[in-house]
Structure 1
Amino acid sequence: MQKERAAHAVVGQEARAGIVEVEEHGLPGAGRVYGLKALQDGAISAEQFVQLNESVGAYTSDMVWTGGSAATPTIPASRFRALPDLLPQIYRSGLHSNARNLAKVPIIDLRPERGADIHTTWRSYQARARLDAANGNHADHFIRGSSVFPGAALTAQSFRMMNRWLSAMERDTSDLPVEAKVIGNKPSDVKDGCFTTTGATDAELAAELALTDPACPLKPTLSPRRVQVVRPPRTSTNAS
């Protein structure tokens, strides 16, 4: 019964229930401090800082906010705590990525610009920044941008690129670390690129732009999470 209280506390998706089973409450947020940097910078008052943290609450597995409503707020709004015995499963399953380990795999990031959508462009640049911070480079990470969604030709092109990249790594019998094999076996045509279209046809792929081109629809906008979050230190060696 204890293990049946798992998925939503950690990942919040029924689709992950096969890995971490089913949770009766929502995403964990206990122990997080919101707005500390804003307080330290003088952007908010101490009272605003307290109000923020006692009101932020959490979402249940049914996406119901624990803070009540504007008319009848719940103060303090409850938060949820993840079950420690479930956290190792998140890391072992790959649901939580680690930039040190991501250096061991080739990455071709198909990133469409969808505007006001949860699949936001900045996440590609966030992953790249994490690779830079952990490994000093992002030589295994390439963004292929498009408008709205990746079209058939763009998807097929990227699949062939990845197939050649992985095949070259398989043929590499050297004693080099896997991170070096990833970088050393990258095909020369695998690079950042952008398309003003979806990349539906080979003709559309011929009009490839640089990510930095003003006409490229991908814009490395900031995360919408404007409130600085301070998380408690991790104590479990399984979560490193």
Structure 2
Amino acid sequence: MKILFLGDIVGKIGRRAVAKVLPEWKQKYSPDIVIANGENMAHGKGFTRATIDEAIKAGVDFFTSGNHVAKKDEGLGLLSDKKIPMIRPANYPLTVPGDGWRVLEVGATKIAIVNIIGRVFFKENFDCPFRGLDAILKEISKQVKIIFIDFHAEATSEKVAFGWYADGMVSAVVGTHTHIQTADESILPKGTAYITDAGMCGSVDSVIGVEKEGVIAEFLDQLPRKHDIPETGQARVCGVFIEIDNKTGKAISIERLENEVEV
């Protein structure tokens, strides 16, 4: 199976950049499924039905998310709708609406898409991601070979540790959340494709997708500023392309992707 994953889509500029770049990538790589982290699609925090529909029209098939699932009023309601192709981190408390993973049929092959969130540097008290993975695998490992994980986490150490922990148990661990693409893509010894962070789809002239002037001022005087998202200009689309052996569920290859366009 060929999987094309896009890092966090940030705001309108990110959505429009994806609409420009994704058709070219789909033509070049012929992915069986396109997955994107969509938690920042609506002006940088959260998502709406309109932003989901826009990304689907651009060519995205399925969405993962992270710590911003409740930033928009309709977010939790969308997660409750099984018809919406989006999941939230599986290690949220059980009372949070939505699914932490789903098994999809892509052609004649099944894939489990799993969303897990880290704990280091988050103010929320999420359940343990490592034990959470164990519990999920007990449910799905017998019914599906290909298991893709979006690990939404802040600390690189936690991401790297999680990758080693999951090696051989899942097909791929792709990190999200920091919006900075890392250059450590690899196939781990037991066959799991790994990258610490896939990066973002958003403004180049920014601080991780946010207008830089306000962020710099906030660092200088330690007073809160409104975080605005640029809507036009140079945008960067980041992601990874992963090939998985359908019979074994092991990764064959992982390629880091990045392209810049004017929006």
TM class by shorter-chain length?
A: under 0.3
Q: TM-score, normalised on structure 1?
A: 0.26
Rg larger in structure: 1
Higher strand share: 2
Higher helix share: 1
